[in-house]
């Protein structure tokens, strides 16, 4: 978040100095162009940064398995009250090379709420998750919510 603020500040500040204000000082013009160029390069390079992997998850028709470090947790769908997906898309050149961050969230019968970010790397992963959700909807009594992009 801080990096985004720095990049936006460089872009806006550099653009103001270089394009909006008529600055007579050549050093200030050079610094403006340099700030603007660094902001553009920083903004474009964020597109290629791979998300950090914190753990792994496996979703089947019976349960959700989450491995974070050395801790492995299993959540059976028979003990869930709600299950939801906030879908933002899968990887593509026009969106994000490594995949958008999608979010799955669920509530157990005891009231515990869990929220995990997942990355769908390609269209096949999206279709597999879509088929799994359709199967869960027909086989279980839990409330399944979908939000985000409507293509899901």
pLDDT, tens digit, for every residue of 115-136? Answer: 888 877 778 888 888 888 888 7
The residues with which 85 forms a beta bridge, in sequence order, are 104, 146
Res. 1 pLDDT band, cuts 50 70 90: low
Contact status, residue 60 vs residue 11, Cβ threshold 8 Å = no
The more confidently predicted of residues 71 and 151 is: 71
For 149, list phi and psi in degrees, rounded to 5: -70, 140
Domain 55-148 has CATH 1.10.150.120: no
* Spans of all domains in the chain: 2-48, 55-148
Confidence band, pLDDT 50/70/90 cuts, at residue 94: low
- Give the three-class secondary structure for 66: strand
């Amino acid at each position: 978040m801080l990096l985004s603020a720095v990049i936006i500040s460089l872009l806006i500040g550099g653009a103001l100095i270089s394009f909006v204000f008529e600055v007579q000082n050549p050093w200030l013009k050079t610094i403006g162009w340099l700030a603007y160029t660094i902001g553009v390069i920083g903004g474009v390079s964020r597109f290629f940064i791979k998300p950090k992997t914190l753990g792994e998850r496996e979703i089947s028709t019976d349960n959700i398995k989450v491995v974070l470090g050395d801790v492995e947790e299993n959540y059976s769908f028979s003990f869930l009250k709600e299950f939801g997906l906030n879908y933002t898309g899968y990887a593509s050149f026009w969106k994000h090379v490594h995949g958008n961050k999608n979010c799955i969230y669920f509530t157990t019968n005891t009231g515990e709420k869990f929220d995990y970010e997942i990355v769908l790397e390609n269209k096949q992963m999206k279709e597999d998750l879509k088929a799994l959700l359709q199967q869960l909807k027909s086989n279980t009594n839990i409330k399944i919510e979908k939000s985000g992009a409507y293509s899901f």
